[in-house]
Structure 1
Amino acid sequence: MVVRPGAVTGFLGPNGAGKTTTFRMLLGLVGPDGGSALIGGRRYADLAHPTTVVGAALESASFHPGRTARDHLRTYAPYAGVDDRRCDEVLAQVGLTEAARRRVGGFSAGMRQRLALAAALLGDPQVLVLDEPANGLDPEGIVWLRTFLRHLAHERGRMILVSSHVLGEVQASVDDVVVIAHGRLVHESSLDDLVALASPRVRVASPDPAGFTALAADRGWPVEQDGDDLVLTGGSCAEVGAAAYRAGLEIHGLAEEGGSLEDVFLRLTGAAPGGAA
C-alpha cells in the first residue's frame, strides 16, 4: 500500500486483522516476514531525525500516572529536539491547556488519547501514524479529531495514516482507504471508489444480455458481465424490472446486492483467507 501526502488514509480492518502489527513494522518495532515498510523511501531506523519525519501514537501508549500532562511531554521533548514552549503549543493544539498541570492518572480515556496525539506532534512531523485515535473520545471529541486531522492533511500537507475497525467512524474524515483482513491487503482505493462499490447493484439473469446492455447504457447504469449474468450498478431491482418491462425484455431473475458501506466492508474482510495477524 502507498499513503500519499496531503491526505488522510483510513487503515481499516476488524479486530485482530493486523493493523497494530503493521504499524509496529512501519516503526521498526517488529520485523516483517517479507517485503519492506518505508517512510519516504527509507526505513524508520535509517531516519536521521525520526521525530521530525514521523509521529506515532500506538494503541499501547502508556503514561506515568503521577506525572502531569506537561511533564509527560517534557520527558519526550529532548528526543524531539524541542523545548518547553513546544510542549505548551501541542497541548493547546489538542485542547489540553487547562489540564496541562493535572496528573495523568486522573485523565479520562479521551484525554489520554489527546495527550498521546500531543506527544506524536512534538517534532512537527510530516507523517502521522495513529492507531485507533478515536477510542475513548466522546462525540464532540470525534468531530474535533476529524476536523483537526483534515486540517493537518489538506492545509498543511501532512501524510496521515489512521487505523480503525469501524468504517463509519472514519468515513467522514478520510480521503483514501486501505482494508486488511487476516493479515492480508484486501482493498486499496480512494473513499469515493469504495463508496461506488456500495451503490445498489442488481444481478440480472436474462436470455437477452445485449438488450439489457443497451438498456443499461440508455439509463446510465454501468454494467459488467459476471458468468452468465449481468451486474448493473446504480439502479434498484424495482427500477431495473420496470425498465425491462417497458422495453419488452425477458427476465429470468433479479437479485439486489450491496447497498451500504458496511455491507462492502463485511464482504471485503470476510473474503480474505488465512488467520489473524
Structure 2
Amino acid sequence: MTIDHLTKTFGAVRAVDDLSFRVTPGRVTGFLGPNGAGKTTTLRMLLGLVRPTSGTATIGGRSYGQLAHPMRSVGSALEASSFHPGRTALDHLRVYAPQVGVSDARCREVLDLVGLGSVAKRRAGGFSLGMRQRLGLATTLLGDPRVLLLDEPANGLDPQGIAWLRAFLRHLAGEGRTVLVSSHVLSEVEQTVDDVVIIARGRLVHASSLGELAALAEPSVRVTSPDVAGLERLVADAGWSAQVDASVPAPPGTAVLRRVPAAEVGARAFTAGVELHELATRDVGLEGIFLQLVADGAPAAGGAAAAESASEADPEAGR
C-alpha cells in the first residue's frame, strides 16, 4: 500500500497535505494523529470515496477503483454504526455476501472468528458499541482480503475486547496481510503495532518502526536544590542542557536535565558540595513522544477537523 504525495483540499482548507508513506505486508501499522489530522480523509481516498486533489493512493500498485474484486482485496471499517438495527448480525453479513461472492457458511465463519457466533441471530440494534465494532470487523473479513483498513477499531471495546483485538490483528498480520489501524491515541495501539505513521494537520511528521519511535525518547532527570546558585553553577560547569520544569509548580532551584544519567548528577553534586533534595529520573514514554511530534502540527479549531467532516459529504465521493 502506497500513499504518494497525496493532497486533498476542501475549499480553503487543506485536509491532507503532500502526504507520502508506505505500509508493509505482514506487519500492523498504526496510522496516528490528533482528531482532525486527516486520517479518515486519507483512508477515504484509499477507498475511492474521496477524489484526491493531487497525488495517488494505491494498493498493490492500483487504485481501489482498478481492483478486479475490491472486497476480496481490501477489507475496510470506517465506522461502527452502519448497520440496520432490525437486521440480525448474520443477516447483516448476508446483505454483503452476494457482492463479495461468498457463501452463507462464510458469513457464519467470520462471526465465529470475531466472537459473535453465539449472537448471530440477535438484532444489531441491541448491540453495544464494542459488539458493533466486532460486526464491522467481520464484514471486512468476508472476502478474506489481504489488506485491512480499520478506523479506530478499539473504540468502545472493554479491556478484554482490546486484548482480543490486539491478538487478532497480530494473527492477521502473521498470515502476511497488510493491516493499517488508525487511532488518535498511541496508547491504544502501542502494544499492537509494528510500525507507526504519524500525521498532524494533514502532514507527515514521523514514520518508522515502533522501536525507532521509542528510541527518540530522551530520559531526563528532575533535580531540586535549596542552593539555587550552586545548582546553576553545577549545571553550567558540567555543560548540561537544563530547563525549568513547567509541568508542575516548583520552587526556585528546580530544573530538568536532559540526556544525563541521574547517577552522574548525584556524583557531581556530591563532589561540588551541592545539597540535593530531589534527584528523579523521568522517562518521556511513547505517548509523550507522540504528543511532542504532533504538538507543532496540531490542527486549529475549525481547520483540519472541519475538513475531516467535510470529507464525509464530499460531492466528488465515489466518482
Between the two proteins, the alignment pairs up a number of residues equal to 249
* Secondary structure at 1:77 match in 2: helix
Q: CA deviation at 1:122?
A: 0.3
Equivalent residue letter for 1:270 = A
* Secondary structure at 1:86 match in 2: helix
CA deviation profile, 1:122-180 (whole Å, cap 9, x unmatched): 000000000000111111000000000001102x1111000111111101110000111
Which of 206, 213, 216 aligns to 1:194? It is 213
Gap regions ≥5 residues in structure 1? 213-229, 249-255
The 1:87/1:36 distance shift into structure 2, 3 A limit, reads: same
Equivalent residue letter for 2:143 = G
The 1:117/1:191 distance shift into structure 2, 3 A limit, reads: same
Which of 259, 264, 273 aligns to 2:284? It is 259
Equivalent residue letter for 1:77 = A
> Is contact 2:80–2:133 with CA below 8 Å preserved after alignment?
no
> Is contact 2:219–2:258 with CA below 8 Å preserved after alignment?
no
CA deviation profile, 1:107-128 (whole Å, cap 9, x unmatched): 1111100000000000000000
| Higher helix content, 1 or 2 | 1
Q: Taking structure 1 as the reference length, what is the TM-score of the superposition?
A: 0.82
* Equivalent residue, structure 1, for 2:129: 109
* Equivalent residue, structure 2, for 1:180: 199
Equivalent residue letter for 2:216 = L
* Equivalent residue, structure 1, for 2:27: 7
Which of 136, 156, 176 aligns to 1:136? It is 156
Partner Cα separation in structure 2 for residue 46 and residue 246 of structure 1: 70
* Equivalent residue, structure 2, for 1:241: 265
> Is contact 2:80–2:136 with CA below 8 Å preserved after alignment?
no
Identity %: 63
CA deviation profile, 1:15-57 (whole Å, cap 9, x unmatched): 1111111100110100122211111111000000111111000
> Is contact 1:55–1:127 with CA below 8 Å preserved after alignment?
yes
Equivalent residue letter for 2:41 = T
Q: CA deviation at 1:241?
A: 2.4
The 1:126/1:247 distance shift into structure 2, 3 A limit, reads: farther
* Secondary structure at 1:10 match in 2: strand
* Equivalent residue, structure 1, for 2:140: 120
- Output aligned runs, 1:1-277, within 5 Å: 1-59=21-79, 61-154=81-174, 156-200=175-219, 232=259, 235-236=260-261, 238-242=262-266, 259-272=284-297, 275-276=303-304, 277=307
The 1:199/1:207 distance shift into structure 2, 3 A limit, reads: closer
Deviates more, 1:17-26 or 1:191-200: 191-200
> Is contact 2:28–2:194 with CA below 8 Å preserved after alignment?
yes
> Is contact 2:34–2:298 with CA below 8 Å preserved after alignment?
no
Equivalent residue letter for 1:24 = R
Q: Taking structure 2 as the reference length, what is the TM-score of the superposition?
A: 0.71
Partner Cα separation in structure 1 for residue 72 and residue 237 of structure 2: 63
Q: CA deviation at 1:196?
A: 1.3
> Is contact 1:149–1:160 with CA below 8 Å preserved after alignment?
yes
CA deviation profile, 1:206-263 (whole Å, cap 9, x unmatched): 6787xx9xxxxxxxxxxxxxxxxx973xx44x33424667999xxxxxxx98612222
The 1:197/1:103 distance shift into structure 2, 3 A limit, reads: same
> Is contact 1:20–1:59 with CA below 8 Å preserved after alignment?
no
